[in-house]
């Protein structure tokens, strides 16, 4: 063996270990060279003839070489290895296997169009040449050497250096005999000569934090949700009820007395039962991908393909989704393509260079979150992100992706002062590469997964976020209506005596309600960092706070747009959300909190059973103000209708604590009207101020309608009436 090759192998710096190790022609025969630092003796055994060739130690640190004379061609062989304690074991040489990743897959990956990159990169249980083992592949184009390390080689990067696949920048290695559950990382020698220890960007599993090794996992599950998936493919969600319960799995409910979170399987049963009781159609989970810091709530991801190990194995998460589907509950997950953290084992400076992120901090570093921004223009990064999004829909059958922080992706100057951002090639502030990525994402999701959803968290007036790409849009299915949320919460936080000065806060949203397919979000972001809980945002004494919260919920369910409510809001939690502890379930022992919860159950039932409340969410024919100008009384009245079924509902909301007697409201037709819901009902903790269930319309024109109702409007209450 060449002394220079020996020196580089032992230093862990050889650029081409497959060019030295394994079987090679040598004179009149073949030589087998092996790097086995923990071996005492090694014998090469011909698999076909069983002829044995002792390997001599050519270096005391574990280099062996066996010469097989008179062998004109390479042959299949095994190794018989005796370790330092005299134990003998048969094994296959990792350097005896041919390359596994084809040139076409490399081409697609480098082109940015490999939508199934997760099938090839990462760690995969595989059978190669009748041998079970694990195939590893990782992208690290500027590294001088990459090795797989783990307990199986004492985390020593000299043992298993990988094969470089040339210009693709991908390194690969098949390690025979490894099994599921193996812990591993990649050790990289950078161009500058530094050693890095990195988790696998494509790993299907990981250790539970604070540990950070990747774990070989089989991301295959025996699904039983075929009926749900077939039905989902036929759904048109913009005209169906979509009431979403947003959940942080680690703090929804904890094990009593232990204050540690439930696992995926316990959550499957307890959370699904609760969602069914409450009447929600979907669960939206804060990011479930692996993340090192609990306080990021999952929004700083290091393991993009690994469900967090905090709550169990990947198969346990699959069980959770499967159980949801078998009980008619959809699952949406938060997906975070905008940025990633700087943890040493993560994506940042992965191979010693700015691989996944921009090198220029004006483009590659996020000042608000101290995180790195993906280089959306790099082809391999696009392959990574697109494949990751499709992975969750493919392998885990999730029903939708709520894409986090879209605004930060769209604008190059997001949260940056003048001079601290780089314009695009046209001199503008739009991130053209991010726009292209988002359009590719939506194109592929809707083409490959019928009935799936993409939802954008986008807080500006960027046009056509939820409009088709061929019409100039970004192609999302829905967009969070952040403007509605801010206006409504600002209005509701005012003392009722001042609300008449902010009357337009509740009406302004209708000026743009049909510009997008909207979701109305009362999300986790509104109940943290000193913003107070929904209940505590409300003004007045305790009774008024509960009444205001019920009124807010009534207005939300009457307003066009799909619904989203963060956990705790459905029963009026007093305190802000704390990710380190359970929701305050004990509050349900008190009648006012039970009342809010009962109201949400009834609102979900009302919303799901009356097409007028969901079928025309994106159709202007579905909403009509009766009177939006009663500023002095702070009363709002409007209609929701479904032209397809002649369904009609009347909403009347009194946003002051003063009952309004004999309040006349114009309606489009005569007859009797049933009081379907009153947020001031005693059942919900109210004062029971209402209309005793029924009213008859008078033939008196009012508000431009030929008929009218004389209502008793409850204080801080919302009425919902239906003509019979």
* Positions marked active-site: 404, 457
* Rounded CA separation 306/319 (Å): 15
Contact yes or no for 629/635 (Cβ under 8 A): no
* Rounded CA separation 94/12 (Å): 16
* Rounded CA separation 343/347 (Å): 8
* Rounded CA separation 480/469 (Å): 18
Question: Of 307, 102, 158, 318, which is closest to residue 223 (Cα–Cα)?
Answer: 318
At which residue do the structure tokens 């409504």 appear?
Answer: 488
N-term to C-term CA, the chain: 94
* Residues 616, 621, 623: CA angle, nearest 5 degrees: 75
* Rounded CA separation 227/223 (Å): 11
Half-sphere exposure of 692 (CA within 13 A, CB side): 3
* Residues 27, 61, 12: CA angle, nearest 5 degrees: 85
Cα-Cα-Cα-Cα torsion 340, 344, 349, 351, nearest 10 degrees, comes to: -130
| Dihedral pair phi/psi, residue 490, rounded to 5° | -65, -45
* Rounded CA separation 544/262 (Å): 35
* Residue 57 DSSP label: E
Question: Of 84, 120, 92, 88, which is closest to residue 104 (Cα–Cα)?
Answer: 120
- Each residue of 334-344: b (16+ CB within 10 Å) or e? bbbbbbbbebe
| Dihedral pair phi/psi, residue 489, rounded to 5° | -70, -35
Half-sphere exposure of 389 (CA within 13 A, CB side): 32
Question: Of 365, 265, 249, 337, which is closest to residue 297 (Cα–Cα)?
Answer: 249
């Amino acid at each position: 063996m060449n002394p220079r090759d020996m020196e580089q192998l032992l230093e862990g710096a050889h650029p081409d270990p497959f060019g030295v190790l394994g079987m090679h022609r040598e004179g009149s025969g073949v030589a087998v060279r092996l790097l086995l630092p923990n071996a005492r003796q090694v014998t090469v055994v011909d698999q076909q003839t069983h002829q044995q060739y002792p390997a001599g130690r050519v270096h005391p640190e574990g280099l062996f070489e066996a010469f097989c004379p008179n062998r004109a061609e390479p042959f299949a062989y095994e190794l018989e290895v005796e370790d330092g304690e005299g134990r003998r074991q048969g094994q296959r040489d990792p350097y005896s296997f041919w390359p596994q990743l084809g040139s076409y897959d490399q081409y697609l990956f480098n082109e940015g169009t490999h939508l199934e990159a997760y099938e090839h990169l990462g760690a995969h249980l595989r059978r190669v040449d009748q041998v079970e083992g694990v195939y590893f592949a990782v992208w690290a184009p500027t590294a001088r050497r990459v090795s797989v390390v783990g307990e199986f080689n004492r985390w020593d990067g000299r043992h298993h250096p990988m094969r470089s696949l040339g210009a693709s920048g991908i390194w690969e290695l098949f390690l025979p005999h490894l099994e599921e559950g193996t812990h591993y990382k990649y050790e990289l020698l950078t161009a500058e000569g530094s050693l890095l220890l990195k988790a696998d960007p494509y790993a299907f599993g990981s250790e539970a934090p604070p540990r950070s090794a990747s774990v070989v996992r089989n991301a295959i599950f025996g699904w039983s949700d075929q009926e749900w998936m077939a039905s989902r493919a036929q759904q048109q969600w913009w005209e169906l009820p979509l009431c979403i319960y947003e959940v942080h799995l680690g703090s929804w409910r904890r094990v009593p007395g232990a204050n540690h979170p439930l696992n995926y399987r316990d959550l499957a049963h307890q959370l699904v039962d609760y969602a069914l009781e409450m009447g929600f159609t979907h669960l939206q989970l804060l990011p479930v991908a692996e993340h090192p810091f609990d306080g990021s709530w999952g929004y700083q991801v290091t393991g993009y393909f690994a469900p967090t190990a905090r709550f169990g194995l990947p198969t346990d998460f699959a069980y959770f989704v499967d159980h949801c589907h078998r009980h008619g509950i959809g699952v949406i997950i938060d997906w975070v393509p905008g940025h990633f953290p700087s943890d040493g084992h993560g994506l940042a400076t992965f191979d010693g260079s700015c691989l996944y992120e921009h090198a220029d901090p004006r483009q590659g570093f996020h000042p608000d979150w101290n995180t790195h921004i993906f280089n959306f223009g790099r082809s391999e990064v696009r392959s990574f992100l697109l494949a990751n999004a499709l992975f969750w829909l493919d392998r885990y059958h999730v029903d939708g992706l709520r894409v986090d922080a879209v605004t930060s992706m769209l604008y190059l100057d997001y949260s940056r002062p003048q001079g601290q951002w780089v314009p695009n090639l046209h001199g503008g502030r739009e991130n053209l590469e991010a726009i292209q990525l988002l359009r590719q994402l939506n194109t592929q999701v809707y083409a490959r997964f019928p009935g799936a959803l993409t939802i954008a968290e986008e807080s500006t007036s960027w046009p056509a976020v939820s409009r088709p790409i061929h019409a100039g849009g970004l192609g999302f299915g829905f967009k969070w209506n952040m403007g509605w949320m801010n206006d409504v919460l600002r209005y509701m936080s005012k003392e009722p005596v001042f609300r008449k000065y902010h009357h337009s806060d509740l009406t302004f949203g209708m000026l743009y309600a049909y510009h997008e397919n909207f979701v109305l979000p009362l999300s986790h972001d509104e109940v943290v960092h000193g913003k107070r809980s929904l209940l505590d945002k409300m003004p007045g004494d305790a009774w008024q706070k509960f009444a205001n919260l019920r009124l807010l919920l009534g207005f939300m369910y009457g307003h066009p747009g799909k619904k989203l409510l963060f956990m705790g809001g459905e029963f009026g939690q007093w305190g802000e959300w704390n990710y380190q502890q359970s929701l305050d379930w004990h509050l349900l022992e008190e009648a006012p909190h039970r009342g809010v919860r009962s109201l949400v159950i009834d609102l979900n039932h009302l919303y799901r059973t009356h097409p007028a409340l969901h079928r025309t969410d994106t159709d202007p024919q579905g909403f009509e103000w009766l009177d939006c100008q009663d500023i002095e009384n702070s009363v709002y009245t409007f209609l929701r209708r479904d032209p397809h079924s002649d369904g009609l509902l009347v909403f009347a909301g009194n946003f002051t604590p003063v009952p309004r007697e004999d309040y006349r409201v114009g309606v489009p037709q005569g007859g009797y009207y049933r009081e379907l819901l009153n947020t001031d009902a005693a059942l919900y903790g109210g004062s029971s101020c209402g209309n005793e269930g029924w009213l008859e319309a008078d033939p008196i024109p009012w508000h431009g309608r030929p008929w009218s109702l004389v209502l008793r409007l409850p204080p801080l209450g919302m009425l919902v009436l239906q003509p019979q």
